[in-house]
Amino acid sequence: MLPQASSCTMAAIRRFLRLPVPLFLVLVFGPSPPGPASTLRAQGTQLTPQESRLYRDARSLIDWTPHQIRSDHELRKLRPAESQQELPAILREVGEQVATFFRDLPDTTCTEEVRAGPCGLGVGCRTTFEDKFRYLVLLHGENGMGLMTEYRTDMKGHPVDYQKLADLAVLTYGFALAPLDHFNPPNLTASRFRYFGRQEADGKETHVVGFAEIPGVYGGPGEFGPENRQAALFVQGLAWIDPTTHQILRIRTWLLAPRTDVGLVSLVTLVEYSAVHLPDIPTTFWLPATVTVTSVMVDAKLNQHQFRNVHRYSDYKLFRVQSRIGPVPKK
């Protein structure tokens, strides 16, 4: 059955089970936004006995055979690596790039355009929800060891009232920068890596590196489900990396194992990055341009429902909080 989340989400789930009224459900990867609508959040790595068995039997892309590699639709033009000799140097260079990124990136805001809706077999995906938001990326800490918070507001800077988004199907959140953290040097021992080879992506030659979080070791998995029965969501994925600048150009992730025990069959993300020049800062930052999230859920009757979110980010700016100290006005 679908996860039991907050009361507002449960009401929408009950409506969803009487289609065609859309489901209201917020999926979050990484730190959760404030408010009761969050059902997927970053927590610790302690696994239940059931999760330990599930992930013990999971097979990741790290162990793919040549046939499985050729079967992946995005690796059909891959020139396979003959060995893993290049992998340590690639991880070192990319890790330095990611650590510098998290160290130097200032608090940033941008415009987020969201299009979301259900998908059907043979009919593609429909857009039943479309809106604009302000999206904030706030970093806390030093040397890439702090916390990263992605936060959404309306265009006037007010918190989003998700309960009022009547046309919403599934709204995803927090997928923009979190995938980069797999390559952050402190996290390199918490995932397995494999060098797949070279491939042209968007007209550029790239290294293709696969990664898979190690269940019980990776420190920031997502979680899905009610607070008293949350399922740890460990992921695996592919990264396309510029061999000259060591910049990650795109990342695709998916679940290491389905979590049908809490109603989540699959969760696939594709993040595409582009160069951004922030005002008054000489450094060029590669920030998300487009994030596509496709989720498949199963209801109590074992019917599967697929949803897709497309997030487009533009107009990046520095985020500054202004405050003023003065006398308290008399009543």
Domain range list for the chain: 7-315
Tokens matching residue 264: 């989540």
Q: Give the model confidence (pLDDT) of 38-59 as tens digits.
A: 333 333 467 888 888 999 889 9
Q: Which residue has the higher pLDDT, 288 or 29?
A: 288
Dihedral sign, Cα of residue 51, residue 52, residue 57, residue 58: positive
Mean pLDDT of 22-41: 38
Residue 233: the pLDDT is 87
279/283 Cα distance (integer angstroms): 10
Looking at the predicted structure, is the pLDDT value of residue 8 above 60? no
Banded model confidence at residue 225, pLDDT cuts 50, 70, 90: low
At residue 211, does pLDDT exceed 90?
A: yes
Max CA separation in the chain (angstroms): 76
Q: For 183-197, write each residue's pLDDT tens digit.
A: 999 999 999 999 999
Whether 257 has a pLDDT exceeding 70, the answer reads: yes
CB atoms within 10 A of CB 163: 16
State the Cα angle at 140 between 113 and 131, rounded to 5°: 10
The pLDDT value given to residue 300: 76
What SS3 class is residue 265? strand
- Classified as helix, coil or strand, 102 is helix
pLDDT confidence tier of residue 229, bands split at 50, 70 and 90? low
Mean pLDDT of the chain: 79
In whole angstroms, what is the distance from residue 291 CA to residue 323 CA? Answer: 33
* Cβ burial, residue 20 (10 Å; 0-12/13-18/19+): exposed
State residue 152's pLDDT score.
Answer: 87
Q: Report pLDDT digits (tens) over 72-90.
A: 999 999 999 999 999 999 9
Digit-coded pLDDT (tens) for 143-187: 444 566 778 889 988 888 777 775 566 777 777 788 898 999 999
